[in-house]
Structure 1
Amino acid sequence: MSENIMRIIDLRGQNLSRAELLAAMPRAAMGTSEATDLVRPILDDVKERGAAALRDFEEKFDHVRPKNLRVPVEAIKDALTTLDPEVRAAIEESVRRARAVAANQVPKDFYTDLAEGARVAERWIPIQRVGLYVPGGKAVYPSSVIMNAVPAQAAGVESLAIATPPARDNEEGLPNKTILATCAILGVDEVYAVGGAQAIAMFAYGAKGSEPQDGDILCDPVDKITGPGNIFVATAKSLVSAFVGIDAVAGPTEIGIIADETANPSLLAADLIGQAEHDELAGSVLFTDSTEIADKVQESLKYRVPRTEHAERVHTSLSGTQSAIVLTDGLDQSIDAANAYAAEHLEIQTKDADAVVKRIKNAGAIFRGPYSPVPLGDYMSGSNHVLPTGGTARFAAGLGVHTFMKPVEVIEYDEEGLKALAARINAFAVSEDLPAHGECVLSRFVKDPYDKATLREQEKEAGLR
Structure 2
Amino acid sequence: MLARTDLRGGTPTRRELRRALPRGGTDVNAVLPTVAPVVEVVAEHGAQAALDYTEQFDKVRPESVRVPAEAIARARAELDPVVTAALEESIARARKVHADQRRTTTVTAVVPGGSVAEKWIPVRRVGLYVPGGNAVYPSSVIMNVVPAQEAGVGSLVVASPAQADFGGLPHPTILAACALLGVDEVWAVGGAQAVALLAYGGVDTRPWESAATGESTADLDPVDLITGPGNIYVTAAKRLVRGVVGIDSEAGPTEIAILADETADPAVVAADLISQAEHDVLAASVLVTDSQALADAVDAEVAAQAAATKHTERVTTALSGPQSGIVLVDDLDAGLAVVDAYAAEHLEIQTRDAAAVADRVTSAGAIFVGTYSPVSLGDYCAGSNHVLPTSGSARYASGLSVQTFLRGVHVIDYDADALSGVADTVVTLSRAEDLPAHGDAVTARFGGRR
CA distance in 1, matches of 2:179, 2:65: 17
1:399-418 map, 5 Å: 399-418=400-419
Name the structure 2 match of 1:72.
Answer: 68
Match of 2:388 in 1: 387
- For residue 30 of structure 2, the aligned residue among 29, 34, 37 is 34
Equivalent of residue 91 in structure 2, options 66, 84, 95: 95
Where does residue 8 of structure 2 map in the other structure? 12
Q: Which runs of 5+ in 1 are unaligned?
A: 450-457, 460-465
| Ranges in structure 2 where 5+ consecutive residues have no aligned partner | none
SS where residue 162 of structure 1 aligns? strand
What letter is aligned with 1:365?
A
Alignment length, in residue pairs? 444
CA–CA distance in structure 2, aligned partners of residues 233 and 202 of structure 1: 12
Q: Distance in 2 between matches of 1:354 and 1:192?
A: 43
1:385, distance to aligned residue in structure 2 (A): 0.3
Contact 1:69 1:192 in 2 (8 A): yes
- Deviation of 1:217 (Å): 4.3
What secondary structure sits across from 1:411 in the alignment?
A: strand
8 Å CA contact 1:51–1:208 kept in 2: the answer is yes
> Is contact 2:345-2:389 (8 Å) kept?
yes
Instruction: Tell me what 2:437 maps to.
Output: 436
- Give 2:123's aligned residue: 127
User: How far has the Cα of 1:400 moved from its partner?
Assistant: 0.4
Give the match's secondary structure for 1:209: strand
> Which is further off, 380-389 or 108-117?
108-117
Q: Please give the secondary structure, in 2, of the residue aligned with 1:105.
A: coil
Q: Tell me the alpha carbon deviations over residues 279-325 of structure 1, each in whole angstroms, 9 at most, x when there is no partner.
A: 00000000000000000000111111110000010000001000010
Q: Which runs of 4+ in 1 moved over 4 A?
A: 210-217
Structure 2 letter corresponding to 1:188: V
Does the residue aligned with 1:384 lie in a helix, a strand or coil? coil
Q: Is the CA contact 2:47–2:201 (under 8 Å) kept in the aligned structure 1? A: no
Q: CA deviation at 1:372?
A: 0.4
Per-residue CA deviation, residues 83-111 of structure 1 (Å, 9 max, x unaligned), is: 00000000000000000111101012101
Partner deviation per Cα, 1:229-285 (whole Å, 9 max, x = no partner): 000000100111122100000000000000001000000000000000000000000
Shift of 1:24: 1.4
1:31 CA drift (Å): 1.7
Q: Residues 157-181 of structure 1, C-alpha deviation per residue, up to 9 Å, x if partnerless?
A: 010101001122122x111111100
Task: Deviation per CA, 1:130-189: give whole Å up to 9, x if none.
Answer: 000000000000000000000000000010101001122122x11111110000000000
**Alignment partner of 1:56 out of 49, 52, 56:** 52
The residue that corresponds to 1:194 in the other structure is 189
Give per-residue Cα distances to partners, 1:346-366, cap 9 Å, x unaligned. Answer: 000000111111110000000
Q: Give the aligned residue type for 2:93.
A: R
- What SS does the corresponding residue of 2:287 show, helix, strand or coil? strand
When normalised by structure 2's length, the TM-score is 0.97
> Displacement, 1:210?
5.6
Alignment partners' CA distance in 2, 1:414 and 1:15: 59
Residues 53-84 of structure 1, C-alpha deviations (whole Å, 9 max, x = no match):
11111111111000121000111011111000
How much has 1:50 moved relative to structure 2?
Answer: 1.1
Q: CA deviation at 1:33?
A: 2.9
Task: Name the aligned partner's letter for residue 155 of structure 2.
Answer: S
Per-residue deviation, residues 398-427 of structure 1 (Å, max 9, x unmatched): 000000001000011111110100011001
- What SS does structure 2 have at the residue aligned with 1:443? helix
Q: Among 112, 125, 130, which residue is 1:116 paired with?
A: 112
SS of 1:201 mapped into structure 2: helix
| Contact 1:51-1:218 within 8 A present in 2 as well | no
User: How far has the Cα of 1:215 moved from its partner?
Assistant: 4.9
- Aligned partners of 2:363, 2:139: CA distance in 1, in Å? 24
Partner SS state of residue 169, structure 1: helix
Number of the residue aligned with 1:455: none
Aligned to 2:240: 239
Contact 2:206 2:218 in 1 (8 A): no
- Asked whether 1:151 is paired with 2:152, we answer no
The separation in 1 between residues aligned to 2:51 and 2:26, in whole angstroms, is 29
CA deviation vs aligned residue, 1:321-354 (integer Å, no higher than 9, x gap):
0001000010000000000000000000000111
Counterpart secondary structure, 1:262: coil
Q: Take 1:73 and 1:252, find their aligned partners in 2: how far apart are those partners?
A: 33
Q: Deviation per CA, 1:353-401, whole angstroms, max 9, x where unpaired?
A: 1111111000000000110000100001100000000000000000000
Q: Distance in 2 between matches of 1:354 and 1:374?
A: 16
Name the amino acid aligned to 2:266: P
- Asked whether the equivalents of residues 70 and 218 of structure 1 are also in contact (C-alpha less than 8 Å), the reply is no
Aligned to 2:249: 248
Indicate which of 161, 169, 173 corresponds to 1:165.
161
Using the aligned pairs only, state the percent identity.
Answer: 56
1: CA distance between counterparts of 2:216 and 2:344?
45
The one-letter amino acid paired with 1:351 is R
Mapped to 2, the partners of 1:9 and 1:248 lie a distance apart of 30
What RMSD over aligned residues (CA atoms) do the two structures have, in Å?
1.1
The equivalent position to 2:202 in structure 1, one of 192, 200, 207, is 207
Give the whole-Å Cα distance in 1 for the aligned partners of 2:417 and 2:64.
61
Match of 1:44 in 2: 40
Larger Rg: 1
Distance in 2, matches of 1:34 and 1:373, equals 34
The reply on whether 1:334 has 2:320 as its aligned counterpart is no
Question: Quick check: 1:265 aligned with 2:266?
Answer: yes
CA contact (8 A) 1:117 1:416 kept: yes
CA shift, 1:29, in A, is 3.8
**Equivalent residues of 1:317, 1:323 under 8 A apart:** yes
Q: Which moved more, 1:132-141 or 1:200-209?
A: 200-209
Distance 2:351 2:28 in 1: 38
Residues 49 and 208 of structure 1 are in contact (CA less than 8 Å); yes or no, is this contact kept in structure 2? no
Distance 2:176 2:205 in 1: 27
* SS of corresponding position for 1:60: helix
**Aligned partners of 2:5, 2:20: CA distance in 1, in Å?**
8
* Distance of 2:80 and 2:417 partners within structure 1: 66
Distance 1:429 1:16 in 2: 48
Q: TM-score when scaled to structure 1?
A: 0.94
> Which residue is equivalent to 1:452?
none
Q: Give the residue type in structure 2 aligned to 1:35.
A: V
| Alignment-mate amino acid for residue 333 of structure 1 | A
Q: C-alpha separation between the residues in 2 aligned to 1:292 and 1:8?
A: 13
Match of 1:354 in 2: 355
C-alpha separation between the residues in 2 aligned to 1:235 and 1:150?
25
